[in-house]
Structure 1
Amino acid sequence: MKNIVIIGFMATGKSTVGRRLAQRLGRVFIDTDKEIEAVTGKTVAQIFARDGAVRFRSEEALLVKKLSLREDLVIATGGGIVLDPENVRLLKKSGILVALSASPDVIYQRTRGKKNRPLLSRGDLREKIDALLKERENIYSVADLTVNTGVCTIEESVQQILAFLSERELIR
């Protein structure tokens, strides 16, 4: 069976929803950020600080190549993984893309006070969120389904995804 790939902006609940979805489907769950941390021995924040965004994106690309060869996974991606068209091509070839979204206000509430978001670490948090959302406004449209986690609970989000997959006979 195809992989289910969760994409979307940071703090939209990709890991939380993905983990719950994997449990419900009895599939292996992969969090790309956690996988990269395990391979490199560094946190995402450390990679960005010490090696830069280009290094992190190259680690993402290598991981996408490996994951695209597997099946029956639920994969929660980093928010910028779909910035690379090759990543999108490979992820779509091997899976169904589900985008999670939330309003800037919800993202702000979920990220304020957190220090583990390298792209939000400098400057005014709200301005950074708005700027990144504007910069990325169309990249998540590659998804087969979009779920607004700002207005749904985790369980409601999972139910929407399961209903979509079931209607299209993508799950047994």
Structure 2
Amino acid sequence: MKHKNIIIVGFMGTGKTAVGKAMAERLGWRFVDTDHYIESKQGTTISDMFRDLGEPAFRNMEGEAIAAVLEGSRQVVATGGGAVLAEHNRVCMQQEGYVVALKAAPEVIINRVKQDEKRPLVQGDVKERVYSLLEARKHAYDFADLIIDSSTASVEEIVEQVIDAIQ
């Protein structure tokens, strides 16, 4: 395997964690979710960080976490949906591994995230928030080495596509 890490990016609800865990298990690598990494380092939840510190402070912590995590190797790393918004994060990801972007249809994302109280960016009108964030980020994932639509593909099918692409 010529890649040091596999980094999974994508909008919330596209399956980054499920795919990342399955891929790590398949490869015998470690799985790291950067949101969980940040929560454990800070001793609080992402929602609370957004509320108490604001999104800019959270995004700074996220950048530091991505850089620290990607110093390792043989990892499948799932990032938060907005991690790609900062250029330094995108550059770091490209330098430290193979980047896979998961995309999904808006209706699929809405169905997957509408009941999740822990997602600070979709509080309120979930449908409106998802559509406006998708529009704002429509090219944010274009830098990835591989883009996969997770709307109808199973986790196993996505893992197979990634493994085929990296071999």
TM-score of the superposed pair, with normalisation by structure 2? 0.96
User: Counterpart amino acid of 1:56?
Assistant: F
- Could you list the per-position Cα deviations for residues 88-123 of structure 1 after superposition, in whole angstroms to 9, with x for gaps in the alignment? 11110011100001000000110112211100013x
Structure 2 gaps, min length 5: none
2:22 pairs with one of 2, 20, 23: 20
Which deviates the most, 26-35 or 63-72?
63-72
Report matched runs for 1:1-172 at 5 Å. 1-122=3-124, 124-166=125-167
Shift of 1:18: 0.3
Moved more, 20-29 or 111-120: 111-120
Alignment partners' CA distance in 2, 1:39 and 1:110: 27
Q: Aligned AA for 2:12?
A: M
Look up the match of 1:170.
Answer: none
Q: TM-score, length-normalised on structure 1? A: 0.93
Identity in percent: 38
Q: Write out per-residue CA displacement over residues 50-78 of structure 1, whole angstroms, 9 at most, x where no aligned residue.
A: 11101110111111221232211110000
Opposite residue 141 of structure 2, the aligned amino acid is: Y
Question: RMSD of the TM alignment (CA)?
Answer: 0.8
Query: Structure 1 stretches (4+) deviating beyond 2 angstroms?
Result: none
Secondary structure in 2 matching 1:141 = coil
SS in 2 for 1:12: coil
